[in-house]
Chains A and B, each alone.
Chain A
Amino acid sequence: MTTTAVSQHQTKWWSGGKSPFNVEYGKLMMWYFLMSDSFTFGAFLISYGTIRFSQNYWPSPSYVFNTFPGAGEANLPLAFVSLMTFILIMSSVTMVLAVHEGHHGNKSGVVKWMAWTIVGGLCFLSCQAWEWHHLITGHHAVLVDPATNKIEEWGQSMRHNPWGPAVENMTYHGEKVTRPGPVAFGGYFFGITGFHGFHVFSGVIINVIMLIMAQTGVFERRGHYLMIEKAGLYWHFVDLVWVFVFLCFYLI
């Protein structure tokens, strides 16, 4: 019924007397903020793409991201990041369920699903902390100087990238030796996943505030759960950005 009403009025929305967007002010502004934020992330990712296209060699993600907490040296390419992606999709689902309960004014439902969303966000942040720690403190044999066969053990950092082309016929304590990889890899990886992680972190803070407000009955007294919808938009955006971070850093 609503859809037919909308299509009837579609061309007359601009004639004044009503908002042409049919969206509450704060929610509309949240949309515009997210649109501008998508340009920020887009600029970062496109800059990464530009640098990557300007290099003759770029490390394959399956070699860089092949470890899992507790699995030691087992070669499990992309396994851990799949878990992180699953956690984030799952927390997006619990968020949309909280919004759904909010539409029906169901306070206990909102509180329950917001709590699960926060748990999901914290799990994701923990995973990212482990991954960063693992990359930074890793030891990978790198042929620093081919003239003297000088080998150093590097972790992934902003200055060092141990994931260069493999050196043939050379091993170091049983491990294959590589040449230094493109330095930009570390800066982009830590910069972009860090910026995304900061969004997740602030999203968790916002969700905690929303949870407290829902629990104490602020939204119930207000008569609507629009704030949950706005926090939900932000949280889904964080998930949306991860789709592209996952694409650019881990898959291709």
Chain B
Amino acid sequence: MEHANVATEITIHHEPSDSTKRIWKVFWILLIITMVELGLGLSLYALSLPEGLRMHLIKGTIIILSLAKAYYIVSVFMHLGDEIRNMIMTIVVPLMLFIWFILAFIYDGNSYKNLRNKYDPYYKERTTEQKEKKAETPAQPGGKD
């Protein structure tokens, strides 16, 4: 009623909702997703999975669940979902740059690792866990006792 004069930029007013039901619903969604994420994170620890497909699947699931949390926070808590499409696009479209940003830099880091391991075998031996165990187990008892 009185908020008709809030700002001249606003042509169409959003009617504020009367109940807080939606807020609490999103709270429960966020809480449950976080607990599932924790469960998956702990399962990585409890199973002590080797680097491989199963570990990547679990980590991928955690990442997707985090994106879902981000969607709920931005859309409901920050009320971006209630804005008009022009407004949503001006925020969301620039964030698409992250797709390239993440892929390019992760690929770069991985490539650097592969190159260093290829051309510096001593570095690889020194920093890799499995290799180190094999190399050190025979040497250890003799050196210690």
Q: Which residues of A contact B (CB under 8 A)?
A: 1-2, 5-6, 9-10, 13-14, 18-25, 28, 31, 35, 38-39, 42-43, 46-47, 49-57, 60-63, 77-78, 82, 85-86, 89-90, 92-93, 95-97, 99-100, 103-105, 146, 149, 165, 167-170, 179, 223-224, 226, 229, 232-233, 236-237, 239-240, 243-244, 246-247, 250-252
**B53 contacts partner chain A, Cβ-Cβ < 8 Å:** no
Q: Tell me, in angstroms, the Cα distance from A250 to B34 when the chains sit together.
A: 12
Shortest Cβ gap from B61 to chain A (Å): 10
CB distance from A105 to the nearest CB of B (A): 8
Select A92's contact among B5, B42, B73, B132, beta carbons within 8 Å.
Answer: B73
A2 in contact with B66 (CB, 8 Å): no
Contacts of B13 in A (CB 8 A): 2
Besides A19-B11, A42-B98, A243-B70, 7 new A-B residue pairs in contact (Cβ under 8 A), listed by A number: A13-B86, A21-B87, A23-B10, A46-B106, A56-B113, A62-B45, A89-B30
Main DSSP-derived SS at the A contact region: helix
Query: Which residues on the A side are within 8 Å of B127 (C-beta)?
Result: 55-57
B→A interface (CB under 8 Å): 2-3, 5-17, 20, 23-24, 27, 30-31, 34, 37-38, 40-42, 44-45, 59, 62-63, 66, 69-70, 73-74, 76-80, 83-87, 90-91, 94-95, 97-98, 101-102, 105-106, 108-110, 112-113, 116-117, 124, 127-129, 132-133, 136-137, 140-141, 143-144
Which residues of the partner chain A approach B95 to less than 8 Å between Cβ atoms?
35, 38
Tell me whether B3 and A35 are in contact (CB under 8 A): no
Say whether B6 contacts A24, CB under 8 Å: yes
Asked whether A13 lies within 8 Å of B84 as measured between CB atoms, the reply is yes
Within 8 Å by CB of A250, from B2, B15, B41, B124, lies B41
A5 contacts B91, C-beta separation under 8 Å: no
Distance in angstroms from A62 CB to nearest chain B CB is 4
When the two chains form their complex, are residues A23 and B87 in contact, meaning their CB atoms are under 8 A apart? yes
Residues of chain B with a CB closer than 8 A to A246's CB: 66
Q: Are A55 and B42 in contact (CB under 8 A)?
A: no
A251 CB contacts on chain B under 8 angstroms: 37-38, 40-41, 59, 62, 66
Q: Is the CB of B27 within 8 A of A93?
A: yes
A168 close to B137 (CB less than 8 A): yes
Candidate in A85, A169, A233, A243 with the most chain B CB atoms within 10 angstroms: A243
Q: In the assembled complex, which residues on chain B have CB atoms less than 8 Å from the CB atom of A56?
A: 113, 117, 124, 127-129
A21-B73 in contact given A42-B98, A50-B109, A100-B16 (Cβ < 8 Å) = no
